[in-house]
Chains A and B, each alone.
Chain A
Amino acid sequence: MSWRDAIGVAVRSLRRRKGRAALTVGAVALAAALLTALLTIATTARDRVLGQLARGGPISAIAVQGAGLDDAAIHRILALPGVKAAAPVAAARVLVVPPAPPVYPRGSGRSPSPAGTGPADEPGRVADDFVDGVVGVDLRHPGLVPVTLLSGRLPDPSSRTEVAVTQGYLERVGIGRKDLVPALGTELELGAPRFLEGGGGVWARWTRAVIVGVVAQDAGTGDILAPLPMIRADQAFGAGADGASSGEPSPTYAAVIVEADSLDQVPPVRGEIERIGYSTTASDTLITNVERYIRVIEIVLSAIGIIALAIAGLGIADALFAAVRERRREIGVLKAIGARDRDVRRLFLVEAGLVGAVGGAVGTGMGWASARVVAAAVNENLAKQGLAPVPVRFPTLIVAGCVLGSACLALLAGVVPAARASRLPASEVMAEG
C-alpha cells in the first residue's frame, strides 16, 4: 500500500470516528497552542528586550571619565581600533523649581496647593525647590547613550527648552515613581548659577523648560536629562561667557560614552582608552547575564509546553491503543485481503501523524492568536504608561517547528500501537464479535 493510499484510508477512518479524532486532535492542539504561545512570548522577550538593550550600544558601551575630556579627547578615542562611536556627556548642578501651582492631571496623589509650602512626601504638599544634576547628552544619537525612554519622548536634540526627567524626579515632586504620565507637559524652571568673584554673590540663568519625557538613564548623576546645547549654554554662563559667543574654549565633559564595534571588543577598547589616561567602566557582563536569565526562562517555558505535548502524545497513544483493540477484526480483514504487517503499521502511523499534524497546525494557530492577544493586552498597558509597544513578529520557525514537532511526537506516540496492530494475526478476521 502506497503512502498516498494509506493517507486516503486513514483520513476516511478519522472522519468516520469524528468524536474520538476531534478529542485527540483537541488535546494535541491545546498542547501545541501552549507551546507556541510560550515560545512566542519567550522569543519576543529575547529578541526584543535583549535586542533593544543591546542595540545602540548601552550594553556594549564604555563610560569614560577623567580630567580633560574635551572634543580633542573624543577625537583621540574615536581613532582607537574597535571604537564605533563616542558621545559626550555634560553635567551641571542647577536649582530646580517645580511647577507652581502644580497641575498633575491624574493619579498623582497630589492636589493643587501653593508652591513651597511643604515637603513632597506629605500628600497635598508641594516639594520645595531643590538642587539637582542636569545630564546633557547628544540626543542626535539617542541609541548610543544609556537612556531608556519610559514615557513621552526624548527632548529635541537642538532644543533649549525641552527636558526629560527620571523617576527620581517624579518621586521628588511627590508624583510617585510609577505614575509617569502626569508629569508630561508640565514646566519647571532651572537656575544655572554663576558664582561671582570675591564672594560677591550668585547670579542665575533661568530656563523655563517643558518636561517631554520620562527616562531611565545611566549617563550621569542627575534627575534631569537635557539636550547638549542647553547644558553647554548653562556651563558657558557659569564660566562667565554668554554661551553664544564664538571662539570660546572647547568645553570639557563629565564623561564620554564610547560604543565598541561589538560586545567582544569591549575589553580591548577599554584597555586602549585606559592606556591614553582615562578611567573606564562597562557593563559588558550584563548582556551575558540577561541572556542567561532569558535563556533559563525560555527553557522553563519550553519545558512546560513540551510536557503538555508529551501528555497529548500519551493521549494519542491511548486513543490508538483503544483503536487497535476496537479494530482487531478490521485489521484481520485487511490482512485477509493481503495487507502486510508494514501496511497495517503504516496505516496506524499515518493516522497518528495526521492527528498530530492537524492538531499541531490548529494549536499553533491558536497559540499564535493567544500570543497576539497577550501582546495586545501588554501593549495596551504599556500605552497607558506612555511606553512604546512591543511588536510581536510572526515566529515562522516556531510555527513550523510546532506543527512538525506535533506530527513527529504523534508519530512517536503511534509507534507502539501501530506495531501492536501490525503483529495481530490475520486470523483475527475469524474471531467472534
Chain B
Amino acid sequence: MPAMGYCTLAGPSGAGKSTLLSLIGGLEPVQAGNLRIDDLDISTLRRDDLAAYRRSTVGFVFQHFGLLDTLTALENVELAATLAGTRRRTRRRHALELLEAVGLGDRADHRPPWLSGGERQRVAIARSLMNRPRLVLADEPTGNLDEASAIRVIELLEDLHRSWGFTLVVVTHNRTLAARGSMRVRLDRGSLAAA
C-alpha cells in the first residue's frame, strides 16, 4: 500500500475487512506474521508503544462515529490531542481550525446527540486529523448515513486526503465508494480475493 495512497477495502461481511483495519491501526496485536508501517514493524510493539503509534500515526473514523456524548464537538476533537499531552491553548486552536475545515465551526459547542449523522461523522473526521496522522483508517464511514450525507462525507475525506497528504484506507460495502479508491482491495474469508 503506497504512502499517501487512497485504498478501499471491500468484501462481504465476515471477510476480515475490519480485522485487517484493526491490525493496521494497532487496535489488535498481531498474532502471526509481520505488519510494517513505514519502517515500523508494529507486530513487535508492546501495549504502550501501540498506544503511542495509534496516537501519533493513525487517525480513525468509525461507522458508529465513536464520539463521546459527554463532550462537545470541540472537546471530542480536542481529546485526541489531550491524550497526546498537547497544551490546552494549542489544542483548542487546532481543534477549532479542524472543525472549520469540516464546516462545523458554528457547531463546536454542540454535543453529539444534538448533531445530525453527517455532522457527527465530520466531527469524527476532524478528530482523526487532530494529531496530524500519516494514516487515516475509515471503517464504513458512510454506513450510518443517508446517500447525500454519505457523498458529502466521502468527498470531505478525499479532499482532506489530497490536501493533507495522508494515506487513506476506507473499508466499505458500497461498490460505488469502493470504486473511488486509487488502490482497490477485495477480501473474501480472510484472503485477498481481487485487486
Q: For residues 56 through 93 of chain B, which have their beta carbon under 8 Å from a beta carbon of chain A?
A: 56, 60, 62, 64, 66-71, 75, 79-80, 82-85
Q: Of A5, A13, A333, which is within 8 A of B66 by CB?
A: A333
B162 at the interface (CB under 8 A from A): no
Q: Which of A9, A334, A340 has the most CB atoms of chain B within a 10 A radius of its CB?
A: A340
Chain A interface, >50% SS class = helix
Q: Is the CB of B68 within 8 A of A336?
A: no
Cross-chain contact of A338 among B56, B68, B139 (Cβ < 8 A): B56
Q: In the complex, are the beta carbons of B28 and A338 less than 8 A apart?
A: no
> B47 touching A336 by the CB < 8 A rule?
no
Beta-carbon contact of A336 and B60 below 8 Å: yes
Q: Is the CB of B69 within 8 A of A16?
A: yes
Partner of A336, one of B25, B52, B84, B131: B25
Minimum CB–CB distance from B15 to chain A (whole Å) comes to 14
- Given the contacts A15-B70, A339-B83, A427 and B52 also touching, CB distance less than 8 Å: no
A298 surroundings in chain B (CB, below 8 A) = none
Query: Is B134 an interface residue, CB under 8 A from the partner?
Result: no
Q: A2–B86 Cα gap in the complex (Å)?
A: 10
Q: Is A1 an interface residue (CB 8 A)?
A: yes
Query: Does the CB pair A337–B55 fall under 8 Å?
Result: yes
Answer yes or no: A335 CB below 8 A from chain B CBs. Answer: yes
CA distance A207 to B127 in the complex (A): 98
Q: Number of residue pairs across A and B with beta carbons under 8 Å?
A: 84
Cβ distance A14 to chain B, nearest Cβ, rounded Å: 9
Determine if A341 is an interface residue (Cβ-Cβ < 8 Å): yes
- Max chain A C-beta neighbours (<10 A), residue from B18, B26, B131: B26
Nearest to A428 among chain B residues (CB) is B27
A270 interfacial contact with B, CB 8 Å = no
Does B66 lie within 8 Å of A336, measured CB to CB?
yes
Q: Are B139 and A430 in contact (CB under 8 A)?
A: yes
What 0/1 pattern do residues 1 to 40 of B give for CB contact below 8 A with A? 0000000000000000010011001111000000000000
- Greatest chain B CB density within 10 A among A1, A329, A333 is at A333
- For A341, the chain B residues whose CB sits under 8 A away are 47-48, 51
Give the Cβ gap from B153 to chain A, nearest Cβ, in Å: 18
Q: List chain A residues, Cβ under 8 A from B127.
A: 337
Q: Which of A12, A330, A338, A430 is B51 in contact with, Cβ under 8 Å? A: A338
Known: A335-B27, A336-B62. 6 other contacts (CB 8 A): A12-B71, A333-B66, A336-B27, A337-B55, A337-B127, A427-B28
Q: B-side interface residues toward A, CB under 8 Å?
A: 18, 21-22, 25-28, 47-48, 50-52, 54-56, 60, 62, 64, 66-71, 75, 79-80, 82-85, 127, 131, 139
Interface residues of chain A, those whose CB is within 8 Å of chain B, are 1-2, 5, 9, 12-13, 15-16, 329-330, 332-341, 343, 425-427, 429-430
